[in-house]
Amino acid sequence: MSNLASGRGALFQKEKVDDLRHWVRENKPKGLMSKVMSEQEAIAKFMTEGCYLGVELYGSVRCPMSLVREVVRQGIGNLRLAGQGVLENDLLIAAGLVKKLDITYHGYEVFGISPVLRRACESGEVETVEWSNAALAWRFKAAAMGLPFLPVRSMLGTDTFTYSAAKEIECPFTGQKLVALPALTLDVGLIHVHRCDEYGNAQIDGISGFASEMARASKRLIISTEEIVPHEEIQKYPERTIIPYYIVDAVVHAPGGALPGEMPYVYWRDEKHMNLYFEQAKNAEGVEQYVEKWVRGTKDHEDFMKKLGGAERFEQLKAQATRR
């Protein structure tokens, strides 16, 4: 149909479903094998300069911050990034590692606009293509379903559509106008979970955000976890496995891995530290100092936790956690 529009944004990630199938067949481990490794190993092993990255959930909630900090430490740059983001994507942009951003929402929620994003976009350093929150989740869902696209009813009639890489289509049954979203496959996905076994069978407490879809849309999936539990624990409640082992490439044991954000039912966010970040993010020098001190200036996650106040601080935050 000639009257159907196409978004003018670039498709930052191009993958053919059939190619992915072949890649999965060759590269993903189908048997049970231990995938436990450190942040350093996991990031070094699976992330490459210029790769397309996705992080779940938000920077302030159940977000694999220990993995994100390790990406910054290793300085893996020219990243293409999917995202709704708060602290995680902000940190990557602040560290100068991001080139292209499939943006949905990037800000500090109740704390307002991100000055880091503003500087990066207004200077032209980061190129953006627009999507809605659900559209991005549905793009992951398309990939998770092994499909090249999904039809949806969002984004119609807006500049969000025009500055996206979506297309309008007509329903073959009803003739109604729909938006076709191109599947989005991540080169690397990072997800923080409550518990998993050494093989990667993972459980999440509370909302799952877009973990299920993003995990399945990731070529390489690194999960960090508050707790590694015996395999038997997983086998006892197999309906709780939201991420199956066969899509997981690395399991990183990271208690406090979501800090300074919260981990539902486990610990509350470190409001003091978040305020510190938001304060320093106001200008380029401030945020650079933050990155130097808190990320590059910490050897690893353990070191970060120590700097944050060690076991004592961690226990305070645990005590403030929302209870069931």
Q: Give the one entry of a second copy, another protein, none that residue 270 binds, where binding means its C-beta sits below a cut-off of 5 to 8 angstroms depending on kind.
A: none
Least separation in angstroms between CB 156 and another protein: 4
Tokens for 277?
């970040």
Site map for a second copy, 139-158, x if CB under 8 A?
A: ------xxxxxxxxx-----
Locate 240 and state its tokens.
Answer: 């709780």
User: Which of 171, 311 has the CB closer to a second copy?
Assistant: 171
For β-strands 186-196 and 52-56, DSSP reports them as parallel
C-beta of 321: minimal distance to a second copy in Å? Answer: 15
Residue 162, both tokens: 């025009």
Task: Give the integer Cα–Cα distance in Å for 305 and 301.
Answer: 6
Backbone angles phi, psi at 80, to 5 degrees: -100, 140
Comparing CB distances to a second copy, the nearer of 179 and 188 is 179
Interface with a second copy includes 8 (CB under 8 A)?
no
Could you say which residues in the range 171-190 bind a second copy, by CB under 8 A?
171-174, 176, 178, 180, 182
Residue 109 binds which entry of another protein, a second copy, none, CB below 5-8 Å type-dependent: another protein
Interactions with a second copy, residue window 30-89 (CB under 8 A): none
Residues 6+ apart with CB under 8 A from 194: 203, 204, 205, 225, 226, 227, 263, 265, 266
The span from the CA of 298 to the CA of 59, in Å, is 19
Contact call for residue 324 and a second copy (CB under 8 A): yes
Of 237-256, binders to a second copy (CB under 8 A) are 237-239
Nearer to a second copy, 209 or 260 (CB): 209
Question: DSSP label at 322?
Answer: P
40: enclosing H helix or E strand: helix 39-46
C-alpha–C-alpha distance, residues 300 and 180, integer Å: 42
Distance (Å, rounded) from C-alpha 59 to C-alpha 61? 6
Residue 148 makes CB contacts below 8 A (sequence gap 6+) with 16, 17, 142, 182, 183
- Nearest one of 11, 58, 20, 54 to 181, comparing CA atoms: 11
Task: Choose between 36 and 242: whose C-beta lies nearer to a second copy.
Answer: 242
Binding string to a second copy for residues 97 to 136, with x set by CB under 8 A, is what?
----------------------------------------
Query: For a second copy, which stretch binds (CB under 8 A), given 123-131, 163-171, 218-226, 267-275?
Result: 163-171
Reduced to 3 states (helix: H, G, I; strand: E, B; else coil), residue 89 is helix
- When asked if residue 25 is in the footprint of a second copy (CB under 8 A), the reply is no
Site residue total, a second copy (CB under 8 A): 33
Whether 81 and 101 have beta carbons less than 8 Å apart is answered as yes
- Residue 167 found at the interface with a second copy (CB under 8 A): yes
* Contact of residue 182 among a second copy, another protein, none (CB under 5-8 Å per partner type): a second copy
CB of 236 to a second copy, least distance (A): 5
Write the single-letter amino acid at 5: A
Choosing among a second copy, another protein, none, which partner's interface includes residue 36 (Cβ < 5 to 8 Å by kind)?
none
**DSSP run (H or E) holding 26:** helix 17-27
Specify the residue, 93 or 181, whose C-beta has the smaller distance to a second copy: 181
Q: How far is the CB of 292 from a second copy (least distance, A)?
A: 39
- Binding residues (CB under 8 A) for a second copy: these are 11, 16-18, 145-153, 167, 169, 171-174, 176, 178, 180, 182, 204-208, 236-239, 324
